[in-house]
């Protein structure tokens, strides 16, 4: 009886290990963001071939756009980028400026913009684009609450991303988070420039990025600075320590599982 139970447990553990195996194996090709503590929390960086969501805090479209442009720049690695944008988002937050993109260190030549009339057509176009493995990343920008962007839709995007290896990035402005199959979810707001002389303090873009969902690890909150010349994120230059305490209340599940496997 006891032996049988141990045997069942062992086989169950084995099957769990097999299910978990692909995600464990995918660790090495993670793309580092450049921000040390965030990368550590993400176990090496952002997972490619997955869905990541960026929510703008309130209506702060500018900062969230900058952050997702940074993520896209990191993951696409000089490959073309498709940016699917809802028409309404253009009117509400302004169109993406090519000069502005170039100023962030990204290449406007690699950008193809799709102006989708509504959420449905945007979703469909994004899923189509994700099937094309020649792309570096696909950004889907949706304004406001979108009923269509439910679990089924995000599952479709995730599957398409996994099949082709293209990273899916979803930018949501003026929206609240609903359950999805995203690998990570960020809430981004603008951060202050470092204290100093008001006249010459204007510096690199700064974001207060809060990681609120991480499928394979704990969450956190950091001030990140975007280095336009190096095209990567980094710790803020004038704040050596994080402004907010990291809410590390979530146990590190993956770590725990590894322990189990070793024991069994």
CA dist 54 and 37 (Å) reads 19
We find the least distance from the C-beta atom of residue 27 to other proteins, in angstroms, to be 26
Q: How far is CA 146 from CA 123, 153, 161, 222, in A?
A: 11, 11, 21, 28
We find the least distance from the C-beta atom of residue 257 to other proteins, in angstroms, to be 37
44 vs 108, which CB is nearer to other proteins? 108
List the end-to-end C-alpha distance of the chain, in Å, as a whole number.
18
74 vs 216, which CB is nearer to other proteins? 74
**CA nearest to 186, candidates 154, 149, 219:** 219
39 vs 107, which CB is nearer to other proteins? 107
CA dist 130 and 247 (Å) reads 34
We find the least distance from the C-beta atom of residue 247 to other proteins, in angstroms, to be 21
CA dist 132 and 161 (Å) reads 9
We find the least distance from the C-beta atom of residue 246 to other proteins, in angstroms, to be 20
Strands 206-214, 220-227: pairing is: antiparallel
**CA nearest to 154, candidates 134, 174, 169, 133:** 169
We find the least distance from the C-beta atom of residue 122 to other proteins, in angstroms, to be 9
CB 201 within 8 A of CB 226: no
CB 176 within 8 A of CB 109: no
Does an H or E element contain 184, and which?
strand 184-190
We find the least distance from the C-beta atom of residue 190 to other proteins, in angstroms, to be 4
133 vs 150, which CB is nearer to other proteins? 133
- Residues at the interface with other proteins (CB under 8 A): 60-63, 65-67, 69-70, 79-80, 82, 90-91, 93-105, 107-117, 121, 124-125, 128-129, 132-135, 189-193, 198-199, 201-208, 226, 228-229
List the structure tokens of 52.
């990541």
105 vs 217, which CB is nearer to other proteins? 105
47 vs 69, which CB is nearer to other proteins? 69
CB 107 within 8 A of CB 79: no
CB 123 within 8 A of CB 72: no
Strands 220-227, 232-234: pairing is: antiparallel
180 vs 233, which CB is nearer to other proteins? 233
We find the least distance from the C-beta atom of residue 58 to other proteins, in angstroms, to be 9
We find the least distance from the C-beta atom of residue 211 to other proteins, in angstroms, to be 19
38 vs 166, which CB is nearer to other proteins? 166
């Amino acid at each position: 009886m006891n032996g049988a139970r141990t045997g069942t447990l062992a086989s169950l553990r084995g099957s769990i290990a097999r299910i978990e195996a692909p995600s464990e194996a995918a660790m090495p090709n993670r793309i580092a963001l450049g921000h040390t503590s965030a990368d550590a929390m993400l176990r090496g960086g952002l997972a490619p071939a997955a869905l990541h969501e960026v929510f703008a805090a309130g209506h702060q479209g500018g900062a969230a756009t900058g952050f997702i442009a940074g993520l896209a720049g990191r993951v696409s690695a000089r490959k073309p980028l498709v940016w699917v944008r809802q028409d309404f988002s253009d009117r509400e937050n302004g169109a993406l400026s090519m000069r502005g993109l170039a100023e962030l260190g990204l290449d406007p030549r690699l950008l193809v913009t799709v102006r989708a009339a509504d959420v449905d057509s945007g979703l469909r176009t994004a899923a189509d684009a994700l099937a094309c493995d020649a792309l570096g990343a696909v950004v889907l920008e949706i304004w406001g609450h979108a009923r269509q962007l439910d679990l089924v839709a995000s599952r479709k995007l995730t599957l398409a991303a996994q099949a082709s290896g293209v990273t899916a990035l979803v930018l949501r402005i003026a929206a609240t988070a609903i359950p999805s199959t995203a690998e990570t979810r960020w809430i981004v707001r603008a951060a202050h420039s470092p204290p100093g002389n008001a006249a010459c303090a204007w510096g690199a873009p700064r974001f207060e990025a809060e990681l609120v969902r991480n499928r394979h690890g704990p969450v956190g909150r950091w001030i990140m600075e975007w280095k336009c010349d190096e095209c990567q994120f980094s710790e803020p230059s004038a704040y050596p320590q994080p402004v907010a305490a990291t809410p590390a209340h979530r146990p590190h599940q993956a770590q725990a599982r590894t322990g189990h496997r070793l024991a069994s």
